[in-house]
C-alpha cells in the first residue's frame, strides 16, 4: 500500500467522535440575508456581511464594469505585472480612510497576518499576542520563528507583565505586539489605547487586526483603532480585511511609509502570490465609498444588536459581553451546540456553531452575527426559536 489508509481513517473518526467534524453545504442562491440550499430557505445569521454590502447593486456593477475592461485574473504577482491602476487607487484611498501614510494590498487577511508577523518578527524579536487572537496571527507567530508568548485575553496589564519579564535587550532587538481589534468569536473590543500605552514603555511595535471593526465601528466606519483616538504613532500597523463589512474579498496593511515600504519588499505572502483581480479591487473601492457614507447602515445594525440583547436578556442564556455585531451564546458542550444549530436550521435560521479549537475547550457556542440587512422580525423570529430550544432541551 502506498500510504497507510487506516491511519488516516482513524484520525478522521477521532475528530468525529469528539463531535468536531465540520460539514459544508452548498448554497444554491442568495438574496440579501436569505440563502437557499437544497430547496431549504434560510435566514443567514452566520455571515460577516455586517452592512449587507456583499450583494449591493453598485458594488456588483463596479465589479462587472471593471471585469469587462480589464478581464478577470490579474495574471501575475503585484511585483511582476499584476499591479493595476485600480490597486494603486485603492491603496491610496485606504491610507486616507485609516489616517495612515501608506497601505499595501494582500489577497486575504490570513496572508496579511502571516506577512506582518513574519516581516516584523524574527529570531531577534519577542512576539506577544492576545490569547484569543485569530488563528492567522497564531500561525503567523509560528512562521516568524520569534520567541512567542500569548498574554491574558484583552489584558494590557498581562502584556506589561510579560514584557517586563521576557524583554531582554541583549536577546531581542524589538517586540511585536499583535491583537484583534474586535475579537472574532467573542465580539468584544480590545483596549487599544491601553495596549499602546504599555507598548510605549518598551521598543514595541503594536499591530491591530481590525477585520471586524473597520466599516462597522466609529464615525464613517473608521474602526476600533481610530474610534479609540489611537494614532499611527501609537499603533503603527493596522490590518483590515474586505471579506467582512466591505462585502468583497481581500485585505490590506496600513501604516507609516517606512514600515509599509519594508513590508512590500519582504512579505512573501505579497510577493509570491497572484495579485487581487482588478475588478475585485474596483468593487472594493466602491464599497469603501459606501462604508464612509454609511452611518445609516451602521444605525440599522446597532438597532439589531440592541434588539438581540434585549430579547435574550432574561432568557437564561449566557451571552458574552459584546456590543458588536458578533454575539455569542455559550452552550459549553460540543454536541449541545450542534443540536442547537440543527434545531435552528430546521426552523429556517443559519447560525455559526463554533467548537474547539476555534474557541477554548468547554466553550462551544452559537456565533450569531447581525447585519443591517436583517429586519426586526428576522431577529425576533430567531430569538423566539432560541428560547424554544432552551425550554425543550435545556430546562426539561
Ligand atoms: C476573517 C479574519 C481574518 C482572515 O481574513 P480573510 O480575508 O478571510 O483571510 C483575519 N483576522 C480576523 C480577526 C478575522 O476575523
Return per-residue pLDDT of the chain as tens, 396 residues: 689 999 999 999 999 998 888 889 999 999 999 999 998 999 999 999 999 999 999 999 999 999 999 999 999 999 999 999 999 999 999 999 999 999 999 999 999 999 999 999 999 999 999 999 999 999 999 999 999 999 999 999 999 999 999 998 899 999 999 999 999 999 999 999 999 999 998 889 999 999 999 999 999 999 999 999 999 999 999 999 999 999 999 999 999 999 999 999 999 999 999 999 999 999 999 999 999 999 999 999 999 999 999 999 999 999 999 999 999 999 999 999 999 999 999 999 999 999 998 999 999 999 999 999 999 999 999 999 999 999 999 987
Q: Is the CB of 70 under 6 A from ligand 1?
A: no
Exposure letters 118-154 (e unless 16+ CB within 10 A, then b): bbbbeeebbbbbbebbbebbbebbeebebbbbbbebb
Q: What is the pLDDT of residue 18?
A: 86
Kindly provide the b/e burial profile for residues 346-357, where b requires at least 16 CB atoms within 10 angstroms of the residue's own CB: ebebbbbbbbee
Cβ proximity of 233 and 263 under 8 Å: no
Ligand 1 contact via 144 beta carbon (within 6 Å): no
> For ligand 1, is residue 130 a contact (CB within 6 Å)?
no
Domains in the chain (CATH in brackets) are 23-51+294-394 (3.90.1150.10), 57-292 (3.40.640.10)
CA distances for 131 relative to 106, 135, 148, 149, 156, angstroms:
25, 10, 11, 9, 12
Give the span between the Cα atoms of 167 and 119, in whole angstroms: 19
pLDDT in tens, 77-90: 999 999 999 999 99
- SS3 category, 100: coil
Query: Ligand 1 mean position to 243 CA, how many Å?
Result: 8
Give 293-323 pLDDT, tens digit per residue: 999 999 999 999 999 999 999 999 999 999 9
CA nearest to 283, candidates 259, 250, 235: 250
Which of ligand 1's atoms lies nearest the C-alpha of 180?
Answer: 13
Phi, psi at residue 378, to the nearest 5°? -50, -45
**pLDDT for 19:** 83
On the 0-12 / 13-18 / 19+ scale of CB atoms within 10 A, 5 is exposed
H/E segment holding residue 315: none
| Cα–ligand 1 centroid distance for 240 (angstroms) | 8
Contacts of 89 (CB under 8 A, 6+ apart): 281, 285
Q: Is 269 in the pocket of ligand 1 (CB under 6 A)?
A: no
From the CB of residue 287, how many other CB atoms can be counted at a distance below 10 Å? 26
Task: Point out which residues pair with 328 in neighbouring strands.
Answer: 367
Helices (DSSP H) in the chain: which residue ranges? Answer: 5-17, 57-70, 85-98, 109-120, 135-144, 156-166, 192-200, 223-227, 257-266, 268-271, 278-292, 295-311, 334-346, 376-389
As a whole number of angstroms, the distance between CA 388 and CA 299 comes to 29
* Dihedral in degrees, nearest 10, Cα atoms 4, 8, 9, 15: 160
CA of 361 to the centre of ligand 1 (A): 22
Q: How far apart are CA 352 and CA 374, in angstroms?
A: 16
Amino acid at each position: 500500500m502506498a500510504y497507510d489508509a487506516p491511519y488516516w481513517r482513524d484520525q478522521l473518526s477521532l475528530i468525529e467522535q469528539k463531535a468536531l467534524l465540520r460539514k459544508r453545504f452548498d448554497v444554491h442562491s442568495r438574496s440579501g440575508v436569505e440563502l437557499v440550499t437544497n430547496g431549504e430557505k434560510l435566514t443567514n445569521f452566520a455571515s460577516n456581511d455586517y452592512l449587507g454590502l456583499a450583494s449591493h447593486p453598485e458594488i456588483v456593477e463596479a465589479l462587472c464594469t471593471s471585469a469587462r475592461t480589464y478581464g478577470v485574473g490579474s495574471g501575475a504577482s503585484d511585483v511582476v505585472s499584476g499591479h493595476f491602476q485600480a490597486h494603486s487607487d485603492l491603496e491610496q484611498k485606504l491610507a486616507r480612510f485609516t489616517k495612515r501614510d501608506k497601505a499595501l494590498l494582500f489577497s486575504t487577511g490570513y496572508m496579511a497576518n502571516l506577512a506582518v508577523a513574519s516581516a516584523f518578527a524574527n529570531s531577534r524579536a519577542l512576539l506577544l499576542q492576545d490569547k484569543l487572537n485569530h488563528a492567522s496571527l497564531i500561525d503567523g507567530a509560528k512562521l516568524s520563528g520569534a520567541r512567542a508568548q500569548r498574554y491574558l485575553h484583552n489584558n494590557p496589564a498581562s502584556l506589561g507583565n510579560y514584557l517586563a519579564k521576557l524583554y531582554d535587550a541583549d536577546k531581542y532587538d524589538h517586540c511585536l505586539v499583535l491583537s484583534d481589534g474586535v475579537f472574532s468569536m467573542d465580539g468584544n473590543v480590545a483596549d487599544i489605547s491601553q495596549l499602546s500605552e504599555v507598548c510605549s514603555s518598551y521598543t514595541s511595535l503594536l499591530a491591530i487586526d481590525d477585520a471586524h471593526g473597520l466599516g462597522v465601528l466609529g464615525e464613517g466606519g473608521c474602526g476600533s483603532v481610530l474610534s479609540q483616538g489611537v494614532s499611527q504613532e501609537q499603533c503603527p500597523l493596522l490590518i483590515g480585511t474586505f471579506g467582512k463589512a466591505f462585502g468583497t474579498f481581500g485585505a490590506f496593511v496600513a501604516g507609516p511609509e517606512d514600515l509599509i515600504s519594508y513590508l512590500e519588499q519582504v512579505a512573501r505572502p505579497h510577493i509570491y502570490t497572484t495579485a487581487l483581480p482588478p475588478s475585485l479591487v474596483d468593487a472594493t473601492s466602491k464599497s469603501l465609498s459606501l462604508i464612509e457614507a454609511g452611518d445609516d447602515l451602521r444605525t440599522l445594525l446597532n438597532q439589531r444588536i440592541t434588539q438581540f440583547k434585549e430579547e435574550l436578556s432574561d432568557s437564561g442564556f449566557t451571552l458574552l459581553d459584546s456590543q458588536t455585531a458578533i454575539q455569542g451564546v455559550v452552550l459549553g458542550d460540543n454536541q449541545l451546540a450542534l443540536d442547537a444549530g440543527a434545531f435552528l436550521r430546521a426552523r429556517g435560521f443559519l447560525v455559526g456553531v463554533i467548537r474547539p479549537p476555534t474557541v477554548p475547550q468547554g466553550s462551544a457556542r452559537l456565533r450569531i452575527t447581525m447585519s443591517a440587512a436583517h429586519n426586526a422580525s428576522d431577529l425576533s423570529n430567531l430569538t423566539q426559536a432560541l428560547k424554544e430550544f432552551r425550554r425543550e432541551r435545556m430546562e426539561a
